[in-house]
Chains A and B, each alone.
Chain A
Amino acid sequence: AQSVAQPEDQVNVAEGNPLTVKCTYSVSGNPYLFWYVQYPNRGLQFLLKYITGDNLVKGSYGFEAEFNKSQTSFHLKKPSALVSDSALYFCAVRDIRRGSTLGRLYFGRGTQLTVWP
């Protein structure tokens, strides 16, 4: 089955420090992976995606993610966290199985990132 796991409900980091939000996946076939961010009382905003190619993907707001096939992971990273990065982060995998709903995403449970000054 297609699924993603975000093992941490919360991540706390000091401003200026590097941050990592973890995601592991389980898919049939090649994974199409996405990261989204949700600010309070807002919808989801797309950050970045991995479809193929370089394992290190760069996205919006200085975020990047590293695809690791052997570890089935797609961790989100940022070298220097900002207080404004505090939000809920979702990892998602696209369902690409034959006959599945085209465009469907399976989301993780989300990780609340808090960056303190």
Chain B
Amino acid sequence: SAVISQKPSRDICQRGTSLTIQCQVDSQVTMMFWYRQQPGQSLTLIATANQGSEATYESGFVIDKFPISRPNLTFSTLTVSNMSPEDSSIYLCSVSKNRGSNTGELFFGEGSRLTVL
């Protein structure tokens, strides 16, 4: 398994501001992902955080709105830029320890609950 710590756990933000969420893993992992869980809805993949290169974004998500960093194999950040109330969600960091395999499960952090006023 993996122990994943996210900061902040929750925050209330003003419209137009930006917030950076940190994800720290207790061991080196091959793959890190950022998911969004909107109120009453399922989880949606935002992007894959690639170590040492630009993140790979899913359809509907762009780097200008959700810049991601991954400087090493245990840490990543997600920034939610120029926030609007529609960005109010839980943002979840997720990791996989199985390089090149689709059979391993993902492990999730406890999430960062953002409320945008």
- Some 23 contacts from A to B, beta carbons below 8 A apart, are A34-B105, A34-B106, A36-B108, A41-B110, A43-B4, A43-B111, A44-B92, A44-B108, A46-B105, A46-B107, A49-B103, A90-B42, A101-B58, A102-B100, A102-B102, A103-B31, A103-B98, A103-B106, A105-B106, A107-B42, A107-B43, A107-B44, A109-B42
**A contacts, CB < 8 Å to B:** 32, 34, 36, 41-46, 49, 51, 90, 94-96, 101-105, 107-110
Q: Which of B43, B103, B104 has the most CB of A within 10 A?
A: B43
Q: Are A109 and B111 in contact (CB under 8 A)?
A: no
| Assembled-state Cα–Cα distance A70/B41 (Å) | 28
Given contacts A104-B33, A107-B42, 14 further A-B pairs with CB under 8 A are A32-B103, A34-B106, A43-B6, A43-B111, A44-B92, A45-B108, A49-B103, A49-B105, A51-B103, A94-B103, A102-B100, A104-B48, A105-B43, A109-B42
